[in-house]
Amino acid sequence: MSKNPLQYALVAGGSKGIGYAIAEALAKRKFNLILIGRNSQTLQSARTQLKAKYEVEVETLAFDLGLDDSPEKISQWCSEKQITLKILCNVAGLGGAKDFLSLPVSGLRDMIKMNIGSGMALCLSLLPILEKNAPSYILNVSSLAGFAPIPVKNLYSATKSAIIFFSYALNYQLKKKNISVSCLCPGPVFSKPEIKKETEEKLGWLGLLMAAEPEKVGEIAVRRTLKKRLIIVPGLLPKIISVLLRIVPRRLWVFLYYKAANE
């Protein structure tokens, strides 16, 4: 739990879904918050709810993290405000039902930029502030999809895999700076109705068994991040599947998934 009322956690993509759940779990521990998102109205709604319920300070910054200069502007704002930043949570990203063969090149580039580039840029831009306030923490949000290639979600699974590899390496690079890096890899999270529908269509009963509510995922993510766990997979069944995905030959896994998805 945060003991210093001036300590802040920054949540990129913190106004809804998993990001809001992570922000709420941090607010329960009395961390003040900086929420980043594109929609000012959604940010203000999240701010009002969190302030009223947990009596913490909540700052909101409306930035499009797909723009190259956004991470540096966020870092400058934190420096100017002399924010005691203890935790960086990179949650913002793109998913959606469409993938490689059905998206234009611009859409593919947007997914790469949002899912990989924005989080990596925020880590680097905010690193001096996190180092100054060490011990500190970085939480990157990947997915169970990052453990294996998924032929119907090709680029999405590839970007999530990149986040896992990046987090593994960064954790060791920052050990001497007393900054812990964690990577959240949840199964399906029903943060909106279309995710539940897609999960039922593509994974059936197994997908429903793996699914979790955002609040549960957020609580587990924050608790284990503060315990310096590197890979965080919420739920027993997703944990078992994450192990199997790393053991089963990738060629066999791709074949089985593709066959199941197209039956």
Instruction: Output the CA torsion sign for 184, 171, 33, 56.
Output: positive
pLDDT per position as a tens digit, 192-216: 666 656 655 666 656 666 678 899 9
Spatial neighbors of 223 by CB under 8 A, at least 6 apart, are 25
**Which region among 9-23, 60-74, 81-95, 204-218 has the lowest average model confidence (pLDDT)?**
204-218
pLDDT band at residue 151 using 50, 70 and 90 as cut-offs: confident
Nearest to 154, CA basis, from 99, 103, 203, 117: 99
pLDDT, tens digit, for every residue of 217-237? 999 999 999 999 999 999 999
Report residue 60 CA to chain centroid gap: 18
The pLDDT mean for the chain works out to: 90
Alpha-carbon Rg for the chain in angstroms: 18
Report the C-alpha gap between 62 and 155 in whole angstroms. Answer: 27
User: What's the CA gap between 161 and 157, in Å, rounded?
Assistant: 6
Number of structural domains the chain divides into: 1
Q: Is residue 2 part of a domain?
A: no
Q: What percent of the chain has pLDDT over 70?
A: 88
Q: 99 with 257: CB under 8 angstroms?
A: no
> What pLDDT score does 141 carry?
97
Contact predicate 187/211, CB 8 Å: yes
pTM of structure: 0.91
Q: Is residue 1 part of a domain?
A: no
DSSP 96-155: -S--GGGS-HHHHHHHHIIIIIHHHHHHHHHHHHHHHT-SEEEEEE--GGGGS--GGGHH
d(CA 205, CA 220): 23
Q: Please name the residue ranges forming H helices in the chain.
A: 17-28, 40-54, 70-80, 105-112, 118-132, 154-173, 193-210, 214-226, 236-247, 250-261
Give dist(CA 55, CA 30) in Å, integer: 8
Q: Which residues of 61-97 are buried (b: 16+ CB within 10 A; e: fewer)?
A: bebebbeeebbeebbeebeeeebbbbbbbbbbbbbee
**DSSP code, position 82:** T
Give the CATH number, domain containing residue 204: 3.40.50.720
Is 193 within the bounds of a domain? yes
Question: Do 89 and 14 meet the contact criterion of CB atoms below 8 Å apart?
Answer: yes
How much is the pLDDT for 195?
A: 61
Residue 86 structural domain? 7-261
pLDDT-derived band at 253, boundaries 50, 70, 90: confident
pLDDT in the model for residue 1: 45
Mean pLDDT for the stretch of residues 54-83: 96
What does the pLDDT look like over 98-132, one tens digit per residue?
A: 778 888 999 999 999 999 999 999 999 999 999 99
